[in-house]
Amino acid sequence: MVLANGPIFGSDGQGGYHTAGDVLVDKTADGVPLNQLWDTLGDLLSAWRAKQDALLSLLAFDTTDVAEAVPQSLSHFQFEEASEFGEPRAGQGGDSLILGYGFKDYDLATRYTWKYLRDATARQVEFDMNASVEADQRLRTGKVLGRLFNPAQKLTPEGNPEFGLWNGTDGIAPIEYLGKTFASNHAHYLVSGAATVDSADIEDSISLITEHGYGTVQGSRILVLASDSTIDTIMGFRKGYESRTGGPIAKYDAIPSADNPPYLSSEFIVGQTPPSEYNNLRVAGSYGSALLVPHIQIPDGYVLTVATSGANSAHNVVGVRHHVNTAYRGLRQIPGKGQYPLIDMFFQRSFGVGVRHRGAAVVTQIKAAGTYDAPTIAS
């Protein structure tokens, strides 16, 4: 009778382990396989990371220094007329300012049960890893942008001052450049004075940068970074016309980049068409000598104008400090405790930021009146 109720072994009725199909949903309600969604999201994260690294490398450079005594503009030596017996005066570099770089430790964990790992696909686990890497890059870019957009002075762990751009309130004046002197209230944080961006906002920002010597030497470039909607407005500027109703007259035409959609025009371009990309960043066009770059991480209502000398150049505006011990640099992936490291996995990053070239960028807040308000930058 017992045998009649079922075999001792070898039967579907004996129980045992469920298959992955028994315990996991393998597609969405509309029939899209989950693995396809994992692949799509992974591709999106890869593209996001590439764009973030492109922006970060143009704004910053790597260093292991705790602080630096850095000239704040490109100083120059000067010849003098020689006499028969006299000796010339020794050339001296410009005045320097102690600029500190902050430093903090950050970490993130992923945790899985062994049962989850038994049934999860490799794509599912890889997606979490990609998301962790994306979080690391978002953290680094957010800290660099947060330092640029915030005029408040901070203190590094070693007690050195960590600066933003010239703010006009710390009593420190930029040193002279090519004979031009600056007052202690000289500021690179501006309020536009109108609810809409206009040509004067861009032209004034460029002038504030070039008068310190940035963006004028070979190999350097001025970028205007803003949200898509703000860049679209700037792309409408035309030389000789109001850049907004009742606003200033634009000095230049905004020229579309090479990969913009074709259009009919009675005008023709004199000079070179702007490139469609610059260091893997999409370029919408140019205004004067500056490239117009839309970027998702620039807060709406703000424009960042910056001089860059290329990827990871020491002339870029922000220094990113890393630990002197090479073992503690970069994103570290640390296995957790136990026999199965994947059950606990930790990602760890140690770094800090500080502005090195305080005159190499300008932040403009687009609002009708009032003082500058620093935005909240997600990191």
Would you say residue 81 lies in a domain?
A: no
In this structure, which amino acid lies at residue 107?
D
Contact 316, 309 (CB under 8 A): yes
d(CA 174, CA 162): 16
pTM assigned to the model: 0.81
Question: Using CA atoms, how far apart are residues 321 and 318, in angstroms rounded to an integer?
Answer: 10
Is residue 86 situated within a structural domain? no
Paired sense of beta strands 189-191 and 221-226, if any: unpaired
| pLDDT score at 35 | 67
**Which of the four pLDDT bands, split at 50, 70 and 90, describes residue 212?**
very high
281: containing domain? 49-71+95-261+271-365
pLDDT band at 195; cut points 50, 70, 90: very high
Confidence of residue 2 (pLDDT cuts 50, 70, 90): very low
**Mean pLDDT over each residue of the chain, to the nearest integer:** 84
pLDDT of residue 369 exceeding 60, the answer is yes
Tell whether 79 is covered by a domain: no
What are the phi and psi torsion angles at 101 (to 5°)? Answer: -115, 130
| 221-226 vs 290-294, strand pairing mode | parallel
Q: For residue 46, what are the CA distances in angstroms to 1, 35, 188, 286, 294? A: 62, 17, 34, 27, 19
Assign 22 to helix, strand or coil.
helix
Is the pLDDT score of 1 beyond 50?
Answer: no
Helix%, strand%, coil% for the chain, nearest 5: 25, 25, 50
pLDDT on residue 308? 97
Half-sphere exposure of 301 (CA within 13 A, CB side): 11
CA separation for the pair 372, 106 (Å, rounded): 30
Confidence of residue 162 (pLDDT cuts 50, 70, 90): very high
Give the model confidence (pLDDT) of 317-334 as tens digits: 999 999 999 999 988 888
**Which one is predicted more confidently, 167 or 218?**
167
* pLDDT per position as a tens digit, 52-103: 688 999 999 999 999 998 765 555 677 888 887 888 877 766 667 899 999 9
Question: In CATH, what number is assigned to the domain containing residue 114?
Answer: 3.90.1690
In terms of Cα–Cα distance, which of 262, 237, 235 is closest to 247?
237
Instruction: Output the pLDDT for position 263.
Output: 56
Selected residue with higher pLDDT from 44 and 22? 44
Tokens 């000079």 correspond to what residue? Answer: 271
Is 309 among the domain residues? yes
DSSP assignment of 192-255 equals -SSSS--HHHHHHHHHHHHTTTTT-STT-EEEEEE-HHHHHHHTT--TTSBSSTT-PBPSSPEE
Q: What percent of the chain is modeled with pLDDT above 90?
A: 56
Residue 236 inside a domain? The answer is yes
Neighbours of 262 (CB within 10 A): 6
pLDDT tens-digit profile of 27-51? 444 555 656 655 765 676 566 666 6
Reported as a pLDDT band with limits 50, 70 and 90, residue 21 is very low
The verdict on residue 135 lying in a domain is yes
Burial of 379 (0-12, 13-18, 19+ CB in 10 A): middle
223-257 pLDDT per residue, tens: 999 999 999 999 999 999 999 999 999 999 999 99
**Cβ proximity of 223 and 55 under 8 Å:** no
Nearest to 361 by CA among 206, 150, 226, 230: 206
**C-alpha 327: how far from its chain's center?**
25
Q: Is the dihedral of CA 268, 269, 273, 274 positive or negative?
A: negative
**Residue predicted with more confidence, 78 or 3:** 78
Residues 99, 155 contacting (CB under 8 angstroms): no
Backbone phi and psi for residue 244, each to the nearest 5 degrees, phi listed first = -155, 165
Q: Which of 5-9, 212-216, 299-303 shows the lowest per-residue confidence on average (mean pLDDT)?
A: 5-9
Whether residue 295 is predicted with pLDDT greater than 70 in this model: the reply is: yes
List Cβ neighbours of 57 (8 Å cut-off, separation of 6 or more): 279, 311, 312
120 burial via Cβ count (<10 Å: 0-12, 13-18, 19+): middle
How far, in Å, CA of 278 to CA of 230, rounded?
Answer: 19
How many domains are contained in the chain? Answer: 1
**Residue pair 154/51 in contact by the 8 Å Cβ criterion:** no
Of the candidate ranges 3-12, 46-55, 256-265, 272-281, the one whose mean pLDDT is the lowest: 3-12
pLDDT score for 31: 59
Eight-state DSSP code of residue 15:
-
Which of 2-11, 111-120, 208-217, 313-322 bottoms out in mean pLDDT, i.e. has the lowest? 2-11
**379 assigned to some structural domain:** no
Residue 92 vs residues 78, 81, 95, 96, 269: alpha-carbon distances, Å: 9, 17, 9, 11, 45
In a domain, 37, yes or no: no
